[in-house]
Amino acid sequence: MRFSLISTLLAFGTLSQAAFNKGAINAFNRVHPRRYDERRAAAPAPEQPAFEKRSKSKFLNKHSEKFVVNGSAIPEVKFDVGESYAGLLPISQDPDEERKLYFWFFPSTNPKAKKEEVVIWLNGGPGCSSLSGLLTENGPFLWQEGTLAPVPNTYSWTNLTNVIWIEQPVGVGYSQGKPNITNEVELGKQFIGFWKNFIDTFELKGATTYITGESYAGYYVPYIADAFITANDDDYYKLGGVAINDPIIGDGTLQQQAVIFPYIEYWSNLFYLNQTYTNALRWTHQHCGYEKYLKKYGTFPPPEEKFPVLPDPYADTNPKSNYTCDIFDYAYAAALESNPCFNIYHITDTCPHVYSQLGIVNQGDYSPPGAKVYFNRTDVKKALNAPIDQTWYQCTPNKVFGFGDPNSNRSDTSLAPAQNDVLKRVIEHTNNTIIGVGRLDFLLPPNGTLFAIQNATWNGKKGFQKYPQDKEFYVPFHNDYNGGRLSEEGIVGQWGEERGLTWYEVQLAGHELPGYTAGAGYRVVEKLLGRIKNLGTIENFTTQKGNFQGNPHERDFSVVNPLGLPWGHGFTYA
């Protein structure tokens, strides 16, 4: 039976008053202890995890010693971040290779993290540095926007396993050499050349690798994973799984233009657009065929035929290239009028803009006059074994797919991984692929990503056969002793899983999901590594001591959403 998301939303939106009242009562009938419970708050604060010195390193050898970073001598960081290694490695085994990628590698102190296990993190762009992810999302220390100084990250992924942040492709961050790629296949070949050198340097042959990232890494991660699979060499390229959040994996028009009006409607109380403008957006949504498209193809299971590619509203060959159908930018302009500090990555932000130590990349980024970008400081470069004469950009102005020319109009020529068999091969090879989104992400609204998945085939069927939001995403209750890094807890969203692919949504996360919702991002990595069975399991973090979850059998599951609102917000990078 074909199941329409539109009817699902109507069903959610018509919960009875009795159900609402019951939900409202139960909302205050918590069986889980709150973090301010006096009995628990009085307990002594434990030491922050993952900042201990090793008596003997498993990774230090004659090849890796030149990459050692002094964890107690990183500028502005007033604590020891522990063992790490950073520097440049070439993208091939050619002794004259000039193209090199920069990395920062942190071994884990978790005894469950075997030496032969590594998680790769990649930011997107294309052309953005993965060090921004380390410093603001999931690294062992954080210096997030608007904060005074670096703080330890209780939810660092290094608490779970060994993690490496890599600046790629060539042309990004501290990486060296002139870009010479035009597509993702070439990018994958260069990456696995670098990875072979990394494995040899740190004596990691046979290690299981998990590849993660966000945004435009929706291209990077599947294509690099596919390069691992194609190499067919478990000594260097043993792939354990992949996880990407808020990714561009399909057609850009579908992922942005077609779904933006239902997204605006779902968050209408937040955008607060006047009725005239809202009606104009609705007319555009209908006139450009987006509404009919969503109704026809937004079903579970999806139609068997391939979804037709929507016209690009910016293309010169499109008869509607007067931008009539550029509803995304119309909505964005209106949002900026309503909220001049509107954040396309996290729509609840309001004025003022907060200072970022990583510099200005997008509208809304703020850097006061005379401020120095952190990774451009000479003392930072020296501490991190980075090239002193390199100007570091959070997102390079040079075109990484255009031979480094900032004026080039060339872009990535590859199809998105959900538009060909790349994502299919990765899912079928690993049966451990996780894709998730934050519902506060305007740049890539959640249902655009889900729509892209519905147009893909894997493990014998096309798309999800039922709406993958039937289970609750649970983040464990816990004590937070680190005021500089707090995590949400309890039910934070929904998830579903079919045929080796897990899909999840987090209600209060933005585009940079691990940065906005620390516990949810941490939980996803626990799932990726096989430490927990699914995202709904009601049990402690695997690195957590004590029992804070209460008795799960006492929980009332009868009302999923006491407000009677649709979680799916209409079926409606970066």
What are the pLDDT digits (tens) for 187-231? 999 999 999 999 999 999 999 999 999 999 999 999 999 999 999
502: left (phi over 0), alpha (psi -120 to 50) or beta: beta
Q: What are 104's strand-pairing partners?
A: 86, 165
- Which residues are the active-site residues? 215, 441, 511
Contact between 467 and 3 (Cβ < 8 Å): yes
Q: What is the pLDDT of residue 360?
A: 77
Give the contacts of 283 (CB within 8 A, at least 6 positions apart).
none
- In angstroms, the CA 437 to CA 574 distance is 13
Instruction: Flag whether pLDDT at 558 surpasses 50.
Output: no
* CA–CA distances in Å: residue 567 to residues 11, 130, 140, 142, 492: 11, 31, 32, 31, 11
Q: Is the pLDDT of residue 334 over 80?
A: yes
Q: What is the pLDDT of residues 378-422, one digit of tens each?
A: 999 999 999 999 999 999 998 999 877 777 777 899 999 999 999
- pLDDT the model gives residue 119: 98
Q: Looking at residue 115, what is its pLDDT?
A: 80
Rounded to 10 degrees, the C-alpha dihedral 334/337/339/340 comes to 130
- CA-based max dimension of the chain: 73
CA distance 157 to 519: 10
Average pLDDT value over all residues in the chain: 85
Q: What are phi and psi of 457, to 5 degrees?
A: -115, 135
% the chain with pLDDT above 90: 73
Which of 340, 343, 353 is CA-nearest to residue 267?
343
pLDDT at 320 over 80: no
Domains of the chain (ranges; CATH) run 65-249+415-554 (3.40.50.1820), 254-368 (no CATH)
What is the DSSP pairing of strand 162-167 with strand 208-215? unpaired
Dist CA 467 CA 469 (whole Å):
6
- Cβ-contact 303, 291 below 8 angstroms: no
In SS3 terms, 127-195 reads as CECCHHHHHHHHCCEECCCCCCCCEECCCCHHHCCEEEEEECCCCCCCCECCCCCCCHHHHHHHHHHHH
Place of tokens 């492709």: 169
What is residue 276's DSSP assignment? H
Tokens in use for 44?
A: 């002594």
- CA atoms of 548 and 478, how far apart (whole Å): 6
pLDDT confidence bin for 480, thresholds 50/70/90: confident
- For 522-553, letters b (16+ CB in 10 Å) and e give bbbbbbbbebbeebbeeebbbbbeeebbeeee
**Residue listed under structure tokens 């109507």:** 10
pLDDT in tens, 99-134: 999 999 999 989 888 788 999 999 999 999 999 999
**183, 191 contact by CB (below 8 A):** no
**Token pair belonging to 287:** 């006139």
Give the C-alpha distances (Å, rounded to integers) separating 284 from 66, 288, 319, 445. 58, 6, 15, 18
Compute the C-alpha angle 175/178/184, nearest 5°.
80
CB distance 327 to 261 below 8 Å: yes
Cα gap 9→299, rounded to integer Å: 12
* pLDDT in the model for residue 10: 30
Q: What is the pLDDT of residue 316?
A: 63
DSSP label of 479: -
